[in-house]
Amino acid sequence: MSFKAIVLEKDENHGFTCSIKTVPQQQLLAQQGDTLIEVHYSSINYKDALALTNKSPVVRQWPMIPGIDGVGCVIESANGHYQKGDMVILNGWGCGETHWGCLGQYAYLKSQWLIPLPQNITPYQSMVLGTAGYTAALCVKRLLDFGIKPQNGAILVTGASGGVGSVAVALLSKLGYSVTASTSKMDDQDYLRKLGATNIIDSQPLKQTGKPLQKEQWAAVVDVVGSHTLANACAQTQYGGIVACCGLAQGIDLPATVAPFILRGVTLAGVDSVMATYQNRLAAWQLLSQHLDASMLSHIGKTITLNDCNDIATKMIAGQIKGRYVVDVNKCI
């Protein structure tokens, strides 16, 4: 048996190709795994976009089927942790980097990478959320666990028009927080207000070099941008507040001083989604399933096919998209 998938390849001259191919299932089963999944949907994340466009050395094994996210039905599992017919979600774990991912009709994965699909989230909705939504939930959970309450003040979400930012805005709003959305796409104000943003600011000032300490504005921050944006967010956070950092859209650098941390007691909390524990993954997905307004997901998500992935990836790298793109892997030419 064979199946359709996006395959990334490099030849002996390091020439890069991204194409839809028919892949023999025995080639898939040569990967290290114990659970065969029939994939229903995947999604396009920033890391997928980097891999699909070869803009960054994300892929470390060739050839590669990209796709860090997937939801599907278990066909067979060698260790008995899952049974045939179980619906499961994959987020991260190096898939699409060192292990074949889910931008194909089948995936062969390790059972410890998977979590059960929450009962009140549909397979499609789980990929509207995907790693972006799950990462947003991890960030929001850090704020909740830290003790930040709605009455403490406004929450800043940077990169608010993107996948992580969109879900963070919607989730925080549903939990009763006043959310300020920072975006470079000021044309997206209607989109962000529908998600629940109470205030929208242009991200450009945050991207510039700022003073070590600035006016205290935010009880907490969810930052996906990094670089000067993260430094300014820390400098603007209220005494005793927290900044959850999970991205580097502006850059991997952090041109900051220790002033916010030693003079205002600000906490900078790193949030990793790739290698998060099973318990943290379950908690994040439970937060989404219990509190996120399902009607918002149709506002955030758009459906594409395998044929559309490269074009969307190129636009994502250029900062030209908003929301989330769900890939119906079973619809392709």
Which of helix, strand or coil describes residue 306? helix
What is the residue-level pLDDT of the chain in tens, covering all 333 positions?
Answer: 899 999 999 987 778 999 999 999 999 999 999 999 999 999 999 899 999 999 888 999 999 999 999 999 999 999 888 999 999 999 999 999 999 999 999 999 999 999 999 988 999 999 999 999 999 999 999 999 999 999 999 999 999 998 899 999 999 999 999 999 999 988 889 999 999 999 999 999 999 999 999 999 999 999 999 999 999 999 999 999 999 999 998 999 999 999 999 999 999 999 999 889 999 999 999 999 999 888 888 888 999 999 999 999 999 998 888 889 999 999 865
**Domain coordinates in residue numbering, the chain:** 2-117+300-328, 129-270
Q: What's at 183, amino acid-wise? A: T
d(Cα 20, Cα 333) in Å, to the nearest integer? 9
214 CB contacts (<8 Å, ≥6 apart)? Answer: 232, 235, 236
Q: What is the dihedral of CA 169, 171, 176, 182, to 10 degrees?
A: -10
User: How, if at all, do strands 237-245 and 267-270 pair?
Assistant: parallel
pLDDT in tens, 234-257: 999 999 999 999 999 899 999 999
Collapsing DSSP states into helix, strand and coil, what is residue 69? strand
- Say what the pLDDT of residue 12 is: 76
Check residue 227 and give its pLDDT.
97
CATH of 2-117+300-328 given 3.30.470.30, 3.10.450.710, 3.90.180.10, 3.40.50.300: 3.90.180.10
**Domain boundaries 129-270, CATH class:** alpha beta
| pLDDT attached to residue 322 | 84
Cis omega (within 30 of 0) on the bond before 63? Answer: yes
Q: Are strands 218-223 and 237-245 parallel, antiparallel or unpaired?
A: parallel
Give residue-wise pLDDT tens across range 59-87.
999 999 999 999 999 999 998 889 999 99
- Tokens 């470390």, located at residue: 60
pTM for the model stands at: 0.90
Name the DSSP class of 99: B
CB 217 within 8 A of CB 157: no
Is there a shared CATH topology between the 2-117+300-328 domain and the 129-270 domain? Answer: no
Question: In the prediction, which pLDDT does 292 show?
Answer: 84
For tokens 């399902």, name the residue: 294
Express the helix, strand and coil content of the chain in percent, nearest 5 each. Answer: 35, 30, 35
CB neighbour list of residue 117: distance below 8 Å, 6 or more residues apart: 71, 87, 88, 89, 123, 126
Which residue, 329, 331, 332, 333, is CA-closest to 39?
329
The confidence score (pLDDT) of residue 307 equals: 95
Q: How big is the chain by its Cα radius of gyration, in Å?
A: 20
* Helix (H/G/I), strand (E/B), else coil: 172: helix
